[in-house]
Amino acid sequence: MGLRYLNGSSWDEVTREERFFCAHLFQLIEQGGVGAFVAYLNRKHAAGLPEQTNGEIAYEACFYRDLRHFRGGQGPLISPSRTFDLALLSDQAIVIIEAKAQQPFDEGQLAVFERAKAQVAKETGVKPIRLAALASSLYSPSVKVLSHVNGPYLTWLELAALYDGDTRLPARRRRLRGGLGHWGQQHKRPHDRQRTARRAPTGREFHGWPRRRAGWMLARGRHRFGFLAAAPLRNKPQGNATSESELVLVE
């Protein structure tokens, strides 16, 4: 039935928290089989990962801290708070999956994960160590961001298609709620990004904009830096109408 203060929506429909989606994806991968997911990465993204292995999927893996604890506290304490959103672990390869929902990737954070690849290899003796990225299909990563990703670049949209019928992965959920709406139809036009000569700001520049300007952009649902922005919930229409306010920030 939903909640009154969410205009009849449930929190499941409103949340944009990446940990929520990662937790659900973790369950889907476990249920469908890690081997099947690895086979998909090899088939779709030419990941070159071993399929016949003792692979497992980890969620919110505080890798260095827990590995050191398992080893009896031996060795230096490395980045005790460093957590991997998702990770494919095996004796032949490790894939660290860094996920974003409504946010762009931060180049500084990815540089940290670049160093993490070498550290994980040192701690485990496993090679290769890959860094995969998971983000909205409407987000356009910079060349610099992509330079840190030596594993598959994934989108929520393709994973929703992989686990067809699931209503919690964001892209599938958005379609069940009525499609892209008017803004989405505009977004599909090839010339949409060329309607203004102003250079699209990067994610870092966007976060540095004045709060009032950023709020105006989010409320209007404009596309200026690679992904959707949803209008406030109070503007959500009743009935089956579709508008910008029904768009989910991830896909």
Report mean pLDDT in 10-residue bins for the chain, 251 residues.
89 88 96 96 96 92 95 90 95 96 87 92 95 92 92 94 81 46 33 39 46 43 40 36 36 54
Helix (H) or strand (E) holding 173: helix 170-176
SS3 73: coil
pLDDT tens digits for 73-114?
Answer: 988 889 888 999 999 999 999 999 999 988 899 888 888 988
The pair phi, psi for residue 98, each rounded to 5°, is: -95, 125
For the entire predicted model, the pTM comes to 0.70
DSSP secondary structure letter of residue 232: P
Beta bridge partners of 88: 57, 95
Cβ 92 vs Cβ 126: under 8 Å:
yes
**Every domain of the chain and the residues it spans:** 18-162, 170-246
Q: CA 178 to CA 203: how far, in whole Å?
A: 28
Beta-carbon contacts of 237 under 8 Å, excluding residues fewer than 6 positions away, are: 243, 245, 246
Q: CA 102 to CA 166: how far, in whole Å?
A: 20
Identify the CATH assignment for 18-162 out of 1.20.1300, 1.10.530, 2.130.10, 3.40.1350. 3.40.1350
